[in-house]
Structure 1
C-alpha cells in the first residue's frame, strides 16, 4: 500500500508550521508512553539517554537514518499526557518540535508540529515526518514497519506544492 501524505503548512504570527496528524485506537496514556519511554521510542525513532525533564537535554540516536546519527534534544515543555515540546540540535541546525495529544472518545489524535523559520526544504522534511509517524503507528499497533522508499521521493512534490494556510 502506498502511503498518502497528510501534512499541511500553516502560517502563524511566529512563522510557518508543518503539521502532520495521526490517530490511534488507544488511550492517550498509551500513546504518550510511545512518545516518551526510551524502550518504546527505540522501536520507531531511536533510543535516547539522559535526564528527561523540562529545561534538560537528552541525547537521541536516530536509529533509522544512515549512520545512525546522534543529536541533542532539549525538553522545552513536558505536560503529560498532552504536550511535549522539544528543540533538536544537529548538523542541520535547530528543529523546534511539538507533539500534542488529544483524547477523542476511544481514540487519541497526535498532532505533530514542526515550527519552521522558512518553508524551504519542506519537500525533504515532510516525507521524513510522515515516515516516522507511520513507524510510530506501526510500533504502537505492532504491525509491519513502512519502508522509507515509499515516502521519498514519492511525497516530495506534494510537500513542495503546499501553500501556507491561515491558522
Structure 2
C-alpha cells in the first residue's frame, strides 16, 4: 500500500510550521501515553530517559535508526493530556516539535507540528514525519510496520510542491 502524504505548511509569526494530523478511536489519555511514555514511544520512534517535566533535558535514543543515534531533548511544555512541546539539536539541525491532542466522541486527534528552522528541507522532513506517525498508528493498531522506502523518495514531489497556507 502506498501511503498518502498529509502534511501542510502554515505561516506563523516567527517561521513556518509543518503540520500533520492523525486520528485514533481511543481515549486522549491512551494516545497521550503513546507519545510520552518511554516504553511506548520506543515502539514507533525513540526511547527516552530522564525526568519528563517542563524545563528538563532527557536523553533520546532513536531505536529504529542505523546506529541508534542519541541526542538531548529539552521539554519546553508538558500539559497532560493535551500538549507536549520539545526541542533537540543534532547534526541534522534544530528540531522544535509540538503535539496537540483533542478528543471528541471517542476519537482523539493528534496534531503534530514541526516548527521549521530556516533552511529546513521539507522534502526530506515531511516524508520522515509521515513515516514515523504511521509507525505510531501501526504500533497502536497492531498492524504491520510501514517501510520507509514507501515514503522517501516517493513523497518528495508532494512536499516539494507544498505552499504555505
For Structure 1 versus Structure 2, the TM-score category normalised by the shorter chain is over 0.9
Q: Secondary structure at the match of 1:44?
A: coil
Cα RMSD between the aligned structures? 1.0
- The match for 1:81 is 81
Alpha-carbon offset, residue 67 of structure 1: 1.6
- The match for 1:22 is 22
Q: Map Cα deviations across residues 86-141 of structure 1 (whole Å, 9 max, x no partner).
A: 00121123211000001121100000001113364100000000000000011011
Structure 2 unaligned regions, length at least 5: none
Structure 1 unaligned regions, length at least 5: none
Q: Secondary structure at the match of 2:63?
A: coil
Alpha-carbon offset, residue 65 of structure 1: 1.6
Alpha-carbon separation, structure 2, partners of 1:135 and 1:142: 10
**Equivalent residues in 2 for 1:154-165 (5 A)?**
154-165=154-165
- The match for 1:111 is 111
Alpha-carbon offset, residue 66 of structure 1: 2.1
TM-score, scaled relative to structure 2: 0.97
Alpha-carbon separation, structure 2, partners of 1:120 and 1:144: 30
Alpha-carbon separation, structure 2, partners of 1:33 and 1:52: 12
Where does structure 1 differ by over 2 angstroms across 4 or more consecutive aligned residues? 117-120
- The match for 1:127 is 127
| Aligned pairs, number | 165
Alpha-carbon separation, structure 1, partners of 2:7 and 2:64: 21
Alpha-carbon separation, structure 2, partners of 1:138 and 1:7: 18
Does the CA contact (< 8 Å) of 1:16 and 1:119 recur in 2? no
TM-score, scaled relative to structure 1: 0.96
